[in-house]
Amino acid sequence: MKAATDSSTGVRRIERREPSYYREQIDEAAAALEAALARNDLAVFYRVFRRTELPFFGEVYEDDAYGLFRVCFDVLHRLGGVSPAAALAVENHYYVSSAIATFPTAGDEGQDRSRRALLRSIIEGRLLVANTNSKIHGGKLGEIGTCARREPGGFRVTGKAAYTSLATQGDLLVFITQIEGEGPAVFSITPMQDNPGVEIGDYLFPSAMLDSDTRQITFKDMFLPDESLLAGGNDQHTALLFGFEMAWHQLLIPALYLGAAARAMQEARKFLRATTGRDDRPLSEMDGMIIDMGRLAIEYRSACCVVLQAGQALGEVKELPRDAGLLDKAVNLAGAAKYVGTRCAEAVVTATRRIIGARAFAGGHHLERLSQEVMFASLGPEVSAVIERRYGKQVLDEQTCLELPW
């Protein structure tokens, strides 16, 4: 990994690269993922992935959230075409590490120092970041299953969290919980593996999304020192961090599923060009098939444009709390991008499966994997109804839609 040394701090920093520089490494990672899935051993992929620069380029994009988003988008889009489930695990690392890398903390010296120290530890330690919002499958939607209680010198954490992707590969765990009597908070834990305070349970999705490595975890009366607290309480800074991190998550989710859509179109293209009709002409020459594929391509490209526009909006957030209004706009647009991108991905995969027919499920066809995994696209982090309701209220609360900052 090529790096330069900052003469003022003595810290080695990876040099900034053009997005095209990473194409060879993305090819290498995608090939490793294909091989790992064939061998049913994802450790093969993670060994190669850790060896590249791909998980650890956040530091050089600290002042360029949109630039970092474009590179993350390229990686996830390619991996999502191999396995959306495996790409989802990588996405979890990216959205947390990217939020840490680009959250504008220049106005708060203490927070800026803490953020940079955590980012540096991720890069220098070559750590993969897992995370959980501590939600559980309870009788109430959005129920939090964990709690932190303040004690002298730190916090005592107990409870369960249902959704933790990258669970057995993560080195650093970043999680959201409630501090008893104080409000929401973000903590970090390292090491995550072989930690007596963190019990990693069984797969949450034991079939279709197996390769996301999503598991339930239990915090077993774990003590965390004060420095493990990244942000907490009902203050403005914590709320802004939650919004910023959510925007990253909503932006990167459609990247991987649109990658699945692109791969599905490629599979349909191969089928149509290689298969002839009863008149011995390739199916790709039938006007109906040309129109069908053209429609899918337009829908795919349109969805990509919405996602990229939302990434640009996040890149405009340069200083907080000054740019809180811009962050609200970015969060709102990220929700729309996630909604449009994931719905498009599901529709494209379904349409290509219908074009190919039953062959899509024969002989280990790649479209079978995509069909099983793309159905999870719209399920998180925000479900479609939440995003629809937010936009519906905006339209109905304004005097005219023309006044909305679309």
Residue range 312-336: average pLDDT?
95
Nearest to 105 by CA among 234, 11, 241: 241
Nearest to 14 by CA among 29, 2, 32, 31: 2
Whole-angstrom CA distances from 282 to 291, 321, 332 are: 15, 59, 45
Question: Helix, strand, coil shares of the chain as percentages rounded to 5?
Answer: 55, 15, 25
Residue 4 has pLDDT above 60, yes or no: no
Residue 261 has a CB neighbour count (10 Å cut-off) of 33
Distance of CA 348 to the CA centre of its chain: 20
More confident residue, 1 or 300: 300
Q: What CA–CA distance (Å, rounded) separates 148 from 183?
A: 10
Question: How high is the pLDDT of residue 13?
Answer: 52
Residue type, 33: L
Residue 189 has pLDDT above 50, yes or no: yes
β-strand pairing of 129-132 with 172-179: parallel
**pLDDT tens, 341-368?**
999 999 999 999 999 999 888 878 999 9
State pTM to two decimals: 0.93
- 149's enclosing H/E stretch is strand 146-151
Residue range 214-243: average pLDDT?
89
- 321's enclosing H/E stretch is none
The answer to whether 222 touches 198, Cβ cutoff 8 Å, is: yes
Question: How high is the pLDDT of residue 3?
Answer: 46
**pLDDT tens, 138-161?**
767 778 899 999 999 999 999 999
Question: How high is the pLDDT of residue 262?
Answer: 98
List the structure tokens of 117. Answer: 């120290």
Residue range 201-228: average pLDDT?
91
Which residues share a beta bridge with 232? 185
**pLDDT tens, 238-271?**
889 999 999 999 999 999 999 999 999 999 999 9
Residue range 302-309: average pLDDT?
98
Residue 69: band (very low, low, confident or very high) from pLDDT cuts 50, 70, 90: very high
Of 71-85, 88-102, 231-245, 354-368, least confident by mean pLDDT is 231-245
Q: What is the DSSP letter of 370?
A: H
Residue 70 has pLDDT above 60, yes or no: yes
Nearest to 59 by CA among 8, 17, 110: 17
Q: Could you give the maximum distance between any two Cα atoms of the chain, in Å?
A: 81
- Exposure string of 376-398, with b = 16+ CB inside 10 Å and e = fewer, is bbbebbbeeeebeeeeeeeeeee
Residue range 131-142: average pLDDT?
79
